[in-house]
């Protein structure tokens, strides 16, 4: 039987993918006391890497929001791999969103809303709201448009 968070994901039409293996010498997640730190996730979809490019130069805010949402889905996949049960999440503490963008692009917060809005919908009003940063970057790994990392409080 699935828990409350997985039931919300099903209502949203989201099936979590298999958690991706790290692409270099790092851990996909690490636990410290009651916190789960998840390494930055990129927009890997069912057909491979998606959203490769720059915001403000080929991609608009809505594209970036979809990329950030996909990153958030992958973060939950990592959380499930780490915890076995997403209902062990007490709350999302913080996310950091990196946006690959043109020098004059200033809508990083709007882009990262794609992840923030998804987390609130998936985790609910008590567990989903979080602190965050939205940072512009000159480039990101594999040329992706967005990368997001997360810190969860866990039981």
Length of the chain: 155
Q: Decide: 118 and 18 in contact? Cβ < 8 Å.
A: no
Is it the case that residue 28 has pLDDT exceeding 90? yes
Cα–Cα dist 102/17, whole Å: 30
Q: Decide: 74 and 39 in contact? Cβ < 8 Å.
A: no
Extract the tokens encoding 23: 């692409």
Confidence (pLDDT) at 23? 85
Cα–Cα dist 107/124, whole Å: 25
Mean pLDDT of the chain: 96
Confidence (pLDDT) at 90? 98
Domain assignments of the chain as residue spans, ordered by start: 29-154
Q: Kindly state the average pLDDT of the residues 115-140.
A: 98
Q: Decide: 150 and 94 in contact? Cβ < 8 Å.
A: yes
Confidence (pLDDT) at 1? 46
| pLDDT one-digit tens code per residue, 76-107 | 999 999 999 999 999 999 999 999 999 999 99
Is it the case that residue 66 has pLDDT exceeding 90? yes
Q: Kindly state the average pLDDT of the residues 34-44.
A: 98
Superfamily of domain 29-154, CATH level 4: RutC-like (3.30.1330.40)
Locate all alpha helices (DSSP H) within 1-140, ordered by sequence.
4-11, 61-83, 108-127
């Amino acid at each position: 039987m699935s828990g409350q968070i997985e039931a919300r994901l099903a209502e949203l039409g989201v099936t979590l993918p298999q958690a991706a293996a790290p692409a270099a010498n790092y851990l996909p997640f690490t636990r410290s006391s009651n916190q789960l730190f998840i390494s930055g996730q990129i927009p890997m979809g069912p057909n491979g890497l998606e959203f490769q490019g720059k915001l403000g130069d080929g991609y608009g805010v809505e594209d970036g929001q979809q990329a950030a949402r996909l990153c958030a889905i992958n973060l939950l996949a990592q959380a499930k791999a780490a915890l076995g049960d997403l209902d062990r999440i007490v709350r999302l503490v913080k996310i950091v969103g990196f946006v690959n963008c043109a020098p004059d692009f200033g809508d990083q917060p709007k882009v990262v809303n794609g992840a923030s809005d998804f987390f609130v919908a998936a985790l609910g009003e008590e567990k989903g709201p979080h602190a965050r940063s939205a940072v512009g970057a000159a480039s990101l790994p594999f040329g992706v448009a967005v990368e997001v990392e997360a810190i969860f409080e866990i039981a």
